[in-house]
């Protein structure tokens, strides 16, 4: 699934099998956040916490939202 939130493109991958989980690029397969192919965190976040992290990582740049 691809979502557009605050002009940010998000891509979600639903892991459906044990094999997919074992071959995932992260040891924690219930949730992991990557940016430009790099692991960021496995912490589940609400919208405010995500936007704070996105601003800190300069994913959103100087945009407000």
Sketch the domain layout of the chain as residue ranges. 2-56
Q: What confidence tens digit (pLDDT) does each residue in 24-65 have?
A: 888 777 788 888 888 888 888 888 888 888 888 777 654 444
Confidence of residue 5 (pLDDT cuts 50, 70, 90): low
Count of beta carbons in the 10 Å neighbourhood of residue 54: 21
Counting Cβ atoms within 10 Å, is residue 65 exposed (0-12), middle (13-18) or buried (19+)? exposed
Of 14 and 5, more confident: 14
CA–CA distance, 43 with 20 (Å, rounded to integer) = 20
39: part of which helix (H) or strand (E)? strand 38-41
Confidence of residue 3 (pLDDT cuts 50, 70, 90): low
pLDDT of res. 6: 63
């Amino acid at each position: 699934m691809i979502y557009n939130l605050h002009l940010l493109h998000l891509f979600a991958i639903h892991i459906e099998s044990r094999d997919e989980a074992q071959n995932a690029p992260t040891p924690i397969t219930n949730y992991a956040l990557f940016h430009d192919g790099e692991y960021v965190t496995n912490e589940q976040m609400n919208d405010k916490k995500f936007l704070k992290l996105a601003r800190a990582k300069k994913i959103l740049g100087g945009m407000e939202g």
